[in-house]
Amino acid sequence: MDAALARAWVTGIASAVRDRADELTQLDAAIGDGDHGVNLRRGFDAVVAALESAETPAAGDVLVKTGTTLVSKVGGASGPLYGSAFRAMGKALQQESSVAQALEAALEAVQKLGKAVPGDKTMVDALAPAVEAYSAAPGDEAAAARAAAAAAADGMRATVPLQARKGRASYLGERSIGHQDPGATSTALIFEALAAVTGP
């Protein structure tokens, strides 16, 4: 991944988040506080603005800047979680890791901060299978990104019957069952954006 691809990815996320902010907010209104779309739109708009003036010679620099901006601009659970994920991924790439290793570092950062495991009905339910699929995919970066996007979407849909054990939705207990997790939905969007810019 080079700096241009990383920029295209983050810009693609920002535009998808703008298009789907209402959907994300509605999912969060059902089992949270109804701000997930608003939070991410504010965050990724700030990222796009920050990148306009930033010197980012490598992909790692783009992603570290993305993470730092998300942490500073987005309150709530998702800002620090996505912020640490992008920062960890960027730092790994700055140290010459592969994209697969960098994604593993992102997952590790999210789990270290949020303490969620797969099945808790959080973004981890989309992120963990996506990272695994990316690493396991044979072939090039484009094929790996497509496999990751498909796995993230499956993980997102699989959150519907789960009862939330982390985050605001966990306050609802059994009433969280039957709703798709907003954070797993935005994670699926993030991998869709990666597949879209990675190529054919």
Return d(Cα 158, Cα 154) in angstroms, integer.
6
Which positions touch Mg ion (CB under 5 A)? 28, 32-33, 35-36, 76
Write out the two tokens for 18. Answer: 């703008």
Name which of 36 and 146 has its Cβ closer to ligand ADP: 36
Name which of 61 and 181 has its Cβ closer to ligand ADP: 181
Name which of 60 and 76 has its Cβ closer to ligand ADP: 76
Residue 67 touches which of Mg ion, ligand ADP, none (CB < 5 to 8 A by kind)? none
Residue 81 touches which of ligand ADP, Mg ion, none (CB < 5 to 8 A by kind)? ligand ADP
Q: At which residue do the structure tokens 């009905």 appear? A: 121
**164 secondary structure, DSSP code:** P
Name which of 28 and 120 has its Cβ closer to Mg ion: 28
Write out the two tokens for 109. Answer: 């950062």
What's the closest the beta carbon of residue 155 comes to Mg ion, in angstroms? 19
Whether the Cβ atoms of residue 184 and residue 177 lie closer than 8 Å to each other = no
**Burial readout 24-62 (b: 16 or more C-beta within 10 A, e: otherwise):** bbebbeebbeebbbbbbbbbbebbbebbeeeebebbbbb
What's the closest the beta carbon of residue 138 comes to ligand ADP, in angstroms? 30
Which positions touch ligand ADP (CB under 6 A)? 28, 32-33, 35-36, 39, 76-78, 81, 110, 114-116, 122-124, 166-168, 181-184
Closest CB to ligand ADP belongs to which residue? 183
Write out the two tokens for 173. Answer: 């207990």
